[in-house]
Amino acid sequence: MIPVGAVLDTDELWQIVDRERTSLADLLEGLSPEQWETRTRCGDWRVREVAAHLTVAARFSCGQVVREMVRARGNWNRMIHDSAVREAELPVAEIIANLRSIIGSRRLAPTTSPHEPLLDLLVHGQDIALALGRERPVPSVAARDAAERVWTMRFPPRPWPLPKARLVATDIAWTRGAGEEIRGPVTSLLLLLTGRPEAAREWAERTGEPWTGVTASR
């Protein structure tokens, strides 16, 4: 039995990151111009901004990050938002090329661990897929790693409050929290943890997995 809080080893984690980058680039390559403009549930970002954001951390130098932080007046979340908006102005072919160019890259954004690229890809990959009405499978072990990272992250600061509930994955061994129980596939729990309750319920319904708990149905 794999421990409840287990995470992937570094080599396996990066292999999954490479596969996720590759499959997402393949998906993006087949989109129409209208689909690139589709709004997602990630704030005011369209598919274009979400895709562009996923290329930034592995491409920007430390100097570029510092310049972006100065532009954002030291606000980390604003820097993430605004850098994606600027990168999204590139032609879609260039955004896809940038994503393909970082397959195999091990570069990380300052202060982050190798778990962040995986977390970003899994969650934002679902932002894109759900907005387009597509199904995008998520390996349960990868979703568990990302959910564990969200639950335990202290720095960079977690931008989402943890639910006051006991989360129980129905497709893999993973349980966290206390209180009212929410049960569902670990990918749905990951989406819930990252501030996407509607997407969490929708993902569970599409996969036919149970999604139960009063909080989960709100």
pLDDT of residue 6: 59
Half-sphere exposure of 3 (CA within 13 A, CB side): 5
69, 59, 78: which is closest to 21 by C-alpha?
59
Report how far residue 49's alpha carbon sits from residue 81's, in angstroms, rounded to the nearest whole number: 9
Report how far residue 168's alpha carbon sits from residue 144's, in angstroms, rounded to the nearest whole number: 11
Report how far residue 57's alpha carbon sits from residue 156's, in angstroms, rounded to the nearest whole number: 14
Contact 21, 121 (CB under 8 A): yes
Per-10-residue mean pLDDT, the chain, length 218? 62 96 98 98 94 90 68 71 90 98 92 90 97 94 96 82 92 93 95 94 84 59
pLDDT of residue 215: 53
pLDDT of residue 8: 86
Report how far residue 174's alpha carbon sits from residue 167's, in angstroms, rounded to the nearest whole number: 8
Residue 182 β-bridge partners:
167
Instruction: For residue 159, give the DSSP letter.
Output: S
